[in-house]
């Protein structure tokens, strides 16, 4: 067994990264764009995986390093590639789960799929809506994210915005998909109850 690598991690990779590949992952994690450029020019593959099945792009996105992201995208990183974890996140999902709004917007501007989701169906718009990230919600909608996409019980991005009390995001989503106002499925009933208990009168009025 390799020290520091669990048996559950080893099947995610064909072989352990070389020293140069590990340096690329660390440079992406730390945001060292100059070192990244040197490693890439020296022949390290831009999409090489670390021991958890993540690329440098995913690591830079998770830590919000815009210069590192720019270097990796310019070098041809596969922007929508998914990691080898349980939910198979692309870089955009890594950025959103870590509250890296600038990184998420940059990835979208560079061509990331606005309809990206994990294997459960939880998508980028749902994450941004649940966190009340108005800018990212706007960017996703402008680039074609589907506000009517559903999870189990019919949860949509709008339901997440309602449940977490993000009034401005509720407005945005209703403007993009006004037909969602009329839903009264189990998901909507649940989040309306939450809004009522929290005294979110403005949200309730928007949905009346």
What pLDDT is attached to residue 14?
A: 52
Burial of 50 (0-12, 13-18, 19+ CB in 10 A): buried
Question: 39 and 10 in one domain?
Answer: yes
What pLDDT is attached to residue 24?
A: 97
H-only helix segments in 64-156:
66-74, 91-97, 101-109, 124-130, 134-142
Question: 207 and 176 in one domain?
Answer: yes
Among candidate residues 88, 113, 138, the one where a domain is terminated: 113
Structural domain total, the chain: 2
What pLDDT is attached to residue 153?
A: 85
Question: 70 and 166 in one domain?
Answer: no
| pLDDT over 90 at 138, yes or no | yes
Among candidate residues 113, 137, 162, the one where a domain is terminated: 113
Question: 62 and 38 in one domain?
Answer: yes
CA–CA separation, 67 and 87 (whole Å): 27
Question: What confidence tens digit (pLDDT) does each residue in 191-202 have?
Answer: 999 999 999 999
Question: 119 and 71 in one domain?
Answer: no
pTM of the model: 0.89
Question: 152 and 128 in one domain?
Answer: yes
Burial 129-158 (b: 16+ CB within 10 A, else e): bbbbbbebbebbbeeebbbebbbeeebbbb
Question: 121 and 90 in one domain?
Answer: no
**Host domain of residue 180:** 115-208
By percentage, how much of the chain surpasses pLDDT 90?
A: 87
Question: 101 and 189 in one domain?
Answer: no
Question: 120 and 99 in one domain?
Answer: no
| pLDDT over 90 at 159, yes or no | yes
What pLDDT is attached to residue 6?
A: 38
- Tokens representing 72? 């990796």
Question: What confidence tens digit (pLDDT) does each residue in 26-35 have?
Answer: 999 999 999 9
Supply φ then ψ for residue 123, to 5 degrees: -105, 175
* 112: nearest Cα among 26, 120, 100: 100
């Amino acid at each position: 067994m390799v020290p520091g690598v669990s048996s559950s991690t080893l099947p995610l990779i064909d072989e352990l990264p070389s020293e140069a590949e590990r340096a690329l992952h660390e440079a992406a994690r730390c945001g060292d764009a100059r070192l990244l450029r040197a490693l890439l020019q020296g022949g390290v593959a831009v999409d090489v995986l670390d021991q958890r099945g993540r690329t440098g792009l995913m690591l830079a996105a998770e830590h919000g390093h815009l210069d590192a992201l720019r270097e990796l995208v310019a070098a041809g990183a596969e922007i929508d590639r998914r990691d080898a974890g349980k939910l198979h996140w692309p870089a955009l999902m890594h950025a959103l789960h870590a509250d890296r709004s600038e990184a998420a917007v940059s990835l979208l501007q560079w061509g990331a799929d606005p309809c990206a989701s994990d294997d459960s169906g939880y998508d980028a718009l749902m994450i941004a809506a649940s966190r009340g990230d108005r800018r990212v919600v706007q960017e996703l909608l402008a680039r074609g994210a589907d506000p009517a996409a559903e999870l189990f019980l019919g949860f949509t991005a709008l339901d997440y915005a309602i449940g977490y009390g993000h009034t401005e995001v509720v407005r945005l989503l209703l403007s993009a998909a006004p037909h969602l106002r009329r839903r009264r499925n189990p998901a909507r009933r649940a989040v309306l109850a939450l809004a009522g208990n929290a005294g979110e009168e403005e949200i309730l009025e928007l949905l009346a």
